[in-house]
Amino acid sequence: MRPFPGCGRSARRREIRLKELPRKACERLVRQALGASIGREMLERIVALAGGHAFYLEASDRCAQGTRSGLRSFTIQ
């Protein structure tokens, strides 16, 4: 059973394609989210995992905020 039957059937859908964020922009966003004290290794790992994708970058930031000792593997479903 679907949790919201009929949801979205009559809604118009719009696809929006986002360009990949440049590496420097990703680094800047991660530093703003996690603070200047984040280590270089953690910063590089988060940026690499996100691959310039803004939503993956946000999810990686949240994951790192929860661990701070290291970045866990995760899957967005």
pLDDT (0 to 100) of residue 55: 85
Within-domain flag for 62: no
CA distances from 69 to 7, 27, 29, 66, 72 (A): 40, 19, 19, 9, 9
Number of domains in the chain: 1
Within-domain flag for 34: yes
Within-domain flag for 11: no
Within-domain flag for 1: no
At 7-44, the pLDDT tens digits run 666 677 788 888 899 999 999 988 888 888 888 998 99
Distance of CA 58 to the CA centre of its chain: 3
pLDDT (0 to 100) of residue 23: 94
Within-domain flag for 47: yes
Cβ neighbourhood burial of 26 (10 Å; 0-12, 13-18, 19+)? buried
Within-domain flag for 35: yes
Within-domain flag for 28: yes
pLDDT top residue among 69 and 12? 12
Within-domain flag for 30: yes
pLDDT (0 to 100) of residue 77: 40
52 has pLDDT over 70: yes
Domain carrying residue 30: 18-57
CA distances from 17 to 24, 54, 59 (A): 20, 11, 18
